[in-house]
């Protein structure tokens, strides 16, 4: 069960940011779908859920506690090399964080979909939808999910450079 009102303003802001990735399709608020909008480009489709948080998330391991219903919902969407399920969080300070949700892991990513530097490998989810080794391809189990063509190729910033999503 979610607390409080839906993050309507945060969803609108996120959709404006997502337009830099490609086309955006807004889901009607009461459609009952597990995502707030879909972003699509020539090579990828992103299912995005937006949540407000009370503070910045310091590690992906915190996300299952904060957004368990959103994660369960996103995991019902298809996972492939050309689709990605993402959870975008907005803190009260206006800081956006982005997480890729796979069948058994949650990974903090950059705005354009590449993995955050220094995070190493995916952080295991203590409550995965499917057990490790299941038939669905995922990290370390066949075709990589959410990698390859399913993120925009952008040059990496210089070390120490402040990396923020585009402001609209």
- Strand 105-109, strand 23-26: pairing: unpaired
Q: How many residues does the chain have?
A: 168
Q: What is the mean pLDDT of residues 50-58?
A: 88
pLDDT at res. 131: 40
Task: Name which CATH class applies to 8-124.
Answer: alpha beta
The one-character DSSP state at 137 is: -
Q: How many angstroms separate the CA atoms of 3 and 19, rounded?
A: 28
Q: What is the mean pLDDT of residues 115-137?
A: 46
Residue ranges per domain, the chain?
8-124
| CB burial readout 48-87, b (16+ within 10 A) else e | bbbbebeeebeebeebbeebeebbebbbebebebbbbbbb
Looking at 15-29, 119-133, 152-166, which range is the least confident one? 119-133
């Amino acid at each position: 069960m979610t607390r409080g009102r839906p993050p309507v303003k945060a969803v609108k802001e996120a959709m404006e940011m997502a337009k830099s990735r490609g086309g955006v399709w807004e889901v009607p608020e009461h459609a009952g779908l597990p995502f707030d909008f879909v972003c699509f480009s020539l090579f990828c489709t992103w299912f995005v859920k937006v949540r407000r948080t009370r503070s910045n998330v310091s590690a992906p391991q915190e996300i299952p506690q904060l957004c368990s219903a959103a994660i369960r919902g996103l995991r019902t969407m298809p996972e492939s090399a050309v689709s990605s399920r993402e959870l975008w969080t907005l803190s009260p300070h206006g800081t956006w964080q982005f997480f890729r949700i796979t069948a058994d892991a949650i990974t903090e990513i950059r705005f354009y979909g590449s993995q955050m530097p220094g995070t190493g490998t995916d952080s295991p989810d203590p409550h995965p939808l499917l057990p490790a080794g299941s038939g669905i391809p995922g990290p370390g189990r066949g075709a990589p999910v959410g990698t390859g063509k399913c993120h925009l190729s952008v040059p990496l910033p210089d070390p120490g450079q402040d990396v923020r999503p585009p402001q609209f």
